[in-house]
């Protein structure tokens, strides 16, 4: 969940972990509980990652990167599409024929989002922020991920203020549900 390093290193490590999870999903030959567990695992990681980016990364992009407002808005729109897919997957039976195409859409959306962040957003942020500011953002991202929800909540506002206010409570409820059900423990 927390890897250390500045914000770019932290988020890039998250990206590699999600890519590895996607590889395991692609390699899964069956459905059932194995696929359900992988879907839950990638959902938990993506939701935590997204909430942390919405709370700290995109406000920093708006503040420090020239023309950062439209860039942040585009990334938030990407998050909305991913969260809607995750919500559909949360309620889907892993053996349902619609699950495969949903997973393909998810992987395509996330892969494109990651490429965009790493090829464009992160270099602009690195150029616009001091090393100290990037380190501070990395610490904030790690704290946010530790308290973030683990389930998609697409109807929740994605503004930084709303996310900082609502995410810890939703995260607490989600983690309690996960504990009771054993979700994310495999």
Q: Where are the domains of the chain?
A: 7-181
Mean pLDDT of 166-185: 46
Q: pTM, whole model, 2 decimals?
A: 0.81
27-56 as b/e: b if 16+ CB within 10 A: ebeeeeeebbbbbbbbbbbbbbbbbbbbbb
Q: Are 170 and 156 in contact (CB under 8 A)?
A: yes
Name the CATH architecture for the domain at 7-181. Answer: Up-down Bundle (1.20)
CA–CA separation, 70 and 26 (whole Å): 34
Please report the pLDDT score of residue 104 as a whole number: 96
- pLDDT tens, position by position, 101-153: 999 999 999 999 999 999 999 999 999 999 999 999 999 999 989 887 766 55
């Amino acid at each position: 969940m927390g890897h250390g390093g500045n914000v770019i290193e932290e988020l890039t490590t998250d990206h590699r972990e999600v890519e590895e999870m996607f590889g395991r999903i692609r390699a899964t030959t069956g459905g059932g509980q194995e696929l359900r567990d992988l879907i839950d695992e990638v959902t938990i990681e993506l939701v935590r990652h997204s909430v942390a980016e919405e709370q700290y990364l995109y406000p920093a992009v708006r503040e420090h990167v020239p023309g950062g407002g439209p860039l942040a808005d585009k990334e938030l729109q990407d998050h909305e599409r991913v969260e809607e897919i995750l919500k559909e997957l949360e309620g889907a039976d892993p053996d349902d024929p619609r699950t495969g195409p949903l997973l393909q859409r998810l992987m395509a959306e996330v892969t494109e989002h990651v490429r965009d962040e790493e090829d464009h957003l992160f270099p602009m942020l690195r150029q616009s922020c001091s090393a100290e500011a990037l380190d501070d953002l990395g610490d904030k991202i790690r704290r946010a991920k530790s308290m973030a929800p683990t389930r998609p909540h697409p109807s929740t506002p994605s503004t930084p203020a709303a996310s900082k206010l609502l995410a810890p409570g939703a995260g607490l409820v989600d983690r309690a549900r996960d504990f009771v059900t054993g979700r994310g423990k495999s």
